[in-house]
Structure 1
Amino acid sequence: MIRVARSNDLASVLKLYRELRPLDPDLEVNFAKEKWSEIIDDPLTFIIVADIDGELASTCSLNLNLSIANGARPFAIIEHVITSEKFRRQGLSRQVLEFAISMAWEENCCKVMLLSGEHLKKAHSLYGSVGFKSGIEKGFVIKPPS
């Protein structure tokens, strides 16, 4: 089942994120719960999950961004597309992406953007297969100084 994450999904989502980002620091439990509550309660942020018999197998985040451009229509950003290794090759990433994209269109977004690591060619094929196109706009990233 593809659905929006709930408050009791924190541990499972963190487990998925650990697969994507194994070098991220561990979060202190109460801090993680506080941040998770902020995410779950934010009306512009959605964590989409694939729930397979009570186990979260795949996820992505969808953020809606308000705008005064494009007829004051919001735009959306999808990040952190993850499928657990044991559930790969079952179309789950595609399903969470399609769910997120549908939500964005339901919210009248003018576009949906997604950034991906430059070297993740298999992921790029997936993104293309659900309708993302490269070469329309160019993405840039800046990270804080160390």
Structure 2
Amino acid sequence: MIREAKKDDLTAVLKLYKELRPSDPELEGNLAHQIWASMLDDPQTFLIVADIAGELVSTCALTINKSIANGARPFAMIEHVITTAQFRRQGLSRQVLEYAINTAWEHNCCKVMLLSGEKLTAAHALYESVGLQAGIEKGFVIKPSV
């Protein structure tokens, strides 16, 4: 089942994120719960999950960003796309992405953007399979120095 995340999904989503980003720092319990509750309460944030018999096996995050450009239509960003290793190649990432993209269209977004690591060619093929296209715009990223 593809659905939006619920309060009780925090631990499972953190487990998926650990697989996606193993070097991320561990969140202190209260902080994780506070941020999670804030995200779930935010009408512009959607955490999409694939739930198989009560186990969360895939997820992506969608944010809707307000704008005064494009006739004041918002734009959307997708991040943190992950399917746990044992459930890959079953179309689950595709399904959570399609849910996210449809949610963006339901919110009248003028576009949906997704950044991906330059060398993740298998992921790029997945993104293209749901209609995302490279070469329309160019993404740029800056991260703080540590």
Same fold (TM over 0.5): yes
Deviation at 1:126, TM superposition (A): 0.3
Q: Which residue is 2:104 aligned to?
A: 104
Find the aligned partners of 2:54 and 2:117 in 1 and give their Cα distance: 30
Deviation at 1:69, TM superposition (A): 0.4
Find the aligned partners of 2:66 and 2:95 in 1 and give their Cα distance: 25
User: For 1:25-65, what per-residue CA distance to the aligned partner results, in whole angstroms no more than 9, with x for missing partners?
Assistant: 11111111011011111110010000000000100000000
Q: Which residue is 1:51 aligned to?
A: 51
Q: Which residue is 1:71 aligned to?
A: 71
1:93 and 2:105 are equivalent in the alignment: no
Aligned to 2:62, what secondary structure does the other structure show? strand
Find the aligned partners of 1:114 and 1:18 in 2 and give their Cα distance: 20
Alignment of 1:9-88 (within 5 A): 9-88=9-88
1:118 and 2:118 are equivalent in the alignment: yes
Find the aligned partners of 2:64 and 2:28 in 1 and give their Cα distance: 27
Find the aligned partners of 1:21 and 1:4 in 2 and give their Cα distance: 21
Deviation at 1:145, TM superposition (A): 1.8
Deviation at 1:86, TM superposition (A): 1.0
User: For 1:74-101, what per-residue CA distance to the aligned partner results, in whole angstroms no more than 9, with x for missing partners?
Assistant: 0000000000001111000000000000
Letter in 1 for 2:109: C
Give the TM-score taking structure 1 as reference length. 0.99
RMSD: 0.5
Find the aligned partners of 2:35 and 2:106 in 1 and give their Cα distance: 26
Unaligned runs of 5+ in 2: none
Find the aligned partners of 2:87 and 2:124 in 1 and give their Cα distance: 19
Identical counterparts, % of pairs? 70
Give the TM-score taking structure 2 as reference length. 0.99
Aligned to 2:19, what secondary structure does the other structure show? helix
Deviation at 1:10, TM superposition (A): 0.1
Which consecutive segments of 4 or more residues in structure 1 shift more than 2 A? none
Find the aligned partners of 2:21 and 2:145 in 1 and give their Cα distance: 19
Find the aligned partners of 1:139 and 1:31 in 2 and give their Cα distance: 30
Deviation at 1:2, TM superposition (A): 0.3
Unaligned runs of 5+ in 1: none
Find the aligned partners of 1:29 and 1:137 in 2 and give their Cα distance: 38
